[in-house]
Amino acid sequence: MEEYLTAKQVAEYLQVKPLTIYQWAREEKIPAIKIGRIWRFKKEAIDAFLEQQLRNK
């Protein structure tokens, strides 16, 4: 089963503020899905995003 995280959980995982996660999601800088008014983040997609960021350096 796929694991989905809240913005707060992603913020803790990436060690940034939740507002930063919301901003990145709105700007499509981080993979996210919006269900109604709530943002959700697939953990697998967040991990892939981090790997991609490491490769781009």
Walk across the sheet containing 4-5 and list its strands: 4-5, 38-42, 33-35
Query: Mean of the pLDDT values across residues 19-31?
Result: 97
pLDDT band at 34 (very low <50, low <70, confident <90, very high): very high
Return the pLDDT at 12: 98
Alpha-helix residue ranges (DSSP H) falling in the chain: 7-14, 18-26, 43-55
Return the pLDDT at 52: 93
- Could you give the CA distance from residue 57 to residue 47 in angstroms, rounded to a whole number? 16
What is the average pLDDT score of the chain? 95
